[in-house]
Structure 1
Amino acid sequence: MKERSMKLGLRPNLTQFILLAINNAFVGSMVGIERTVVPVLGKQSFHLNSLSVLLAFIVSFGIVKGPLNLVAGRLADQWGRKPILILGWVCGLPVPLMAIFAPSWGWIIAANLLLGANQGFAWSMTVTSKIDLVGPARRGLALGINEFSGYIGVAFISGVAGYLASIYGPRPIPFVVAEVIAVVGLLMAWIVIRETLPYTRLEMSTGNQVGIQTRLGLGQVIAMVSFKNRTLLACSQAGLVNKLSDTAVWGLVPVMMAQSQYSVGQIGLVSGMYAATWGVLQLLSGTWSDKVGRKTPIVLGQILNGIGIGFILLTYSLVMWVIAALLMGIGTALVYPVLLSAVGDEAHPAWRGSALGVYRMWRDGGYAIGGILIGFGVDWLGNERTIGALAMIVFVSGVFVLFGMQEPLRKTR
């Protein structure tokens, strides 16, 4: 691909952008089935009573996904985006089959190791590729669309999986659907999605790029994103804390609802409402952040998310569960694509993929940390105290962003 034949922007790259969005919807769908079915599978098929043991499948997911985000970002800067996207789908192919034939909970944990690799590689590349294509002026919109497509996939499949599981049981039908999705996603990545790495060179050639330094080693990028740069540090901690709350929705909420005798279909409805609200509103939050800046949506989102988590303590009916899910979905929608946009703003195109990888490593490490803290917290302290502590942590994270984050520097054209 010749650089002079390429243009940055959404309109000139609309076809590839749409294909990446569809592919990311399939990536999200792989997780959507897990969110609804696996916690119920642990209770009904494997008779797990300890929440810390049950949440081990989320811990395994986070342990792999977090570091592989970093690996994916670095390899994508060196090898290109498409090979890593394909690798992600290859890792996803065995996951539904392992869940179908799992004779023990250990197989489910192992399957989630591969699911973490699938998400770490594939979702990272849809994010990075869209940033490559659109350039700096519409970055918030691009990330909003990307996360919208992924979490609409999560929401839709969460509902479908809950419905199928309520009729046919948690295995095998929901996971057969997941296997079909994995095959289609791999074929798309292999055949119709193009490499976008040349667009980073085009952006650098325009002179409109921003960032602290043009060339950084991996260790320097890790230090920059983790603690040296105030904006990137604020983004990293906010992303990690956001995943703590998401872990509660993924692992704790289905268990609490099941303990209150809600059906799998009702659990799927609540999970789907959370993901749908999160997914749809990201279209607005990403675009809004292009106009007002990144800081305001992030702070507002963390505070709303903390309120939504606290609202769980007031749930006594299905309607109340839905309200809690909506509050958390709105809060996360304000945070999720805007954090990615902020990192994209602050990082130079030459090491943007690596910076996004480091940020996503910290963010998705929240799954592992959340699975451990929430699991043992509930086992030792009970549901209410654990939920209250988590709500406070999310609220404090928003305050940290308010006072610790500088508005990322951006140039538009």
Structure 2
Amino acid sequence: MRTTSAVPLRLGLSANARQFWLLVAVNAFVGAMIGLERTVPPLIAEQEFNLTSSSLILSFVAAFGLVKAITNLFAGRLGDKYGRRPVLLAGWLLALPVPLMIMLAPSWSWIIAANLLLGASQGLTWSTTVIMKIDLVGPQGRGFAMGLNEAAGYLAVAASAYLTSVIAANYGLRPEPFYLGVAFAAAGLALTALFVRETLPYTRLEAAHYRVANAPAGATPSLLTLLREGVWRNRALASANQAGLVNNLNDGVAWGLLPVYFAAQGVPLVQVGLIAATYPAVWGFAQLLTGALSDSWGRKGLIVTGMLVQGVALLGIALLNGFVPWMLSAALLGVGTAMVYPTLLAAVADASYPTWRGTAVGAYRLWRDGGLAVGAILGGLLADALSIPAAVLIVAVLTAASGLLVAVRMPETLPRPVPSEVS
């Protein structure tokens, strides 16, 4: 009788290329779902529902960010316990009604409700594709893998943001731009259901074959323990958490306030969409380089520099005027964000043990995406009390201060794992 054995698992991008690139494609559809919201919904608030308060306009960003942050936390925990693939499937099922709700919304509360669903969906889908790629590649090349993941997502954000602005300029704000969302959600669900495989076994492989200097083995810490450690005590995780929160704080302000501000200054809708798309486009492309650089240069220097570059870019948006200066500032903001985004994810993965890494990444993404809600609330209050440029100026100072805090507190986390003996 002839017996067959399963193909042995191996860590690394080349060893798992087919699944890795499939997950890159899935994450592109995840990003495209956010791109639907980068240009058109703030204008729907102002032009269709006659909202004049910046705080009310930004409420959809706050709703999205708050729910996504909380869902991130449980996505990592559930993935560690039950597997990654079921969590990814659940996220896509939540995404299906979102574009339909926006298309048919009779009031602004429907838009907020759609963003609650979208936030939950994004927390499950984006977190899980990140963790699955970390599972597949192992400790070497982690930054490069995160750069590819985030590049795919944010290039899709940029393309979707620009396409929706073009469609809106030619056909109106609703419903035509959101037909794209129906296609994106259906494609992401189909790819996941038909072709994505479970990656949880790779975490056990890594735990068996590598000693990880930054994260001693042991029982999976509780959520409360990880959250407590990540506030201050654990210098690596706490530094990453606060930088991630501030990074997305400024993204929440840019997302909700800047399209309205640029349109109020007489910038045509297609040009507003182009500025809105430039930021995530540069962010996406640059991550192909910055993620890989963090594997050789280290994590800390890129994070500090990236936060400072973001601060300078936001100063440019606040203090300069005109389409070209704003485009250049948006591009610079994308460069700074690209230096930070995949590097922070890699740093958190460095500082966590393979068997509870999903939980640690989920806790980090709770802090990071909570920044969207904080930015939306703070930005709206500052814009209503002062002005939109003043709000952006204050956020620029906070962003630079976050980078300086990382410089003072964060240890270098780039791993130097030593393979253990394998019998």
TM-score bin, normalised by smaller chain:
over 0.9
Counterpart amino acid of residue 397 in structure 1: S
Aligned twin of 2:35: 32
Aligned twin of 2:134: 131
SS of residue matched to 2:158: helix
Aligned twin of 2:314: 309
Alpha carbons 2:165, 2:273 under 8 Å: kept:
yes
Aligned counterparts of 1:161 and 1:224: Cα–Cα separation in 2? 41
Listed as ranges, the matches of 1:8-407 within 5 Å are 8-210=11-213, 211-215=215-219, 216-407=221-412
Deviations 1:59-97 (A, max 9, x none): 100110001000100000001110000111111111000
Alpha carbons 2:299, 2:414 under 8 Å: kept:
no
Shift of 1:144: 0.3
Deviations 1:282-315 (A, max 9, x none): 0100100000110000000000000000101233
Alpha carbons 1:32, 1:155 under 8 Å: kept:
yes
Shift of 1:345: 0.3
After superposition, the Cα gap between the structure-2 partners of 1:407 and 1:101, relative to the gap in structure 1 and judged at 3 Å, is same
SS of residue matched to 1:5: coil
Q: Normalising by structure 2, what TM-score?
A: 0.96
Aligned counterparts of 1:265 and 1:304: Cα–Cα separation in 2? 27
Q: Normalising by structure 1, what TM-score?
A: 0.98
Alpha carbons 1:72, 1:124 under 8 Å: kept:
yes
Shift of 1:227: 2.5
Deviations 1:179-235 (A, max 9, x none): 111011011111101110000001011033341342222222222233221011000
Alpha carbons 1:315, 1:321 under 8 Å: kept:
yes
Counterpart amino acid of residue 216 in structure 2: I
Alpha carbons 1:344, 1:356 under 8 Å: kept:
yes
Shift of 1:320: 0.8
Alpha carbons 1:156, 1:272 under 8 Å: kept:
yes
Aligned counterparts of 1:214 and 1:169: Cα–Cα separation in 2? 56
Q: Where does the alignment leave 5 or more consecutive residues of structure 1 unmatched?
A: none
Shift of 1:170: 1.2
Shift of 1:341: 0.1
Q: Where does the alignment leave 5 or more consecutive residues of structure 2 unmatched?
A: none
For these two proteins, the number of residue pairs brought into alignment is 413
Q: Tell me which protein shows more helix as a share of its residues.
A: 1
Aligned counterparts of 1:370 and 1:22: Cα–Cα separation in 2? 29
Deviations 1:242-261 (A, max 9, x none): 00111122111101001112
Counterpart amino acid of residue 334 in structure 2: G
Alpha carbons 2:295, 2:414 under 8 Å: kept:
no
Aligned counterparts of 1:207 and 1:384: Cα–Cα separation in 2? 50
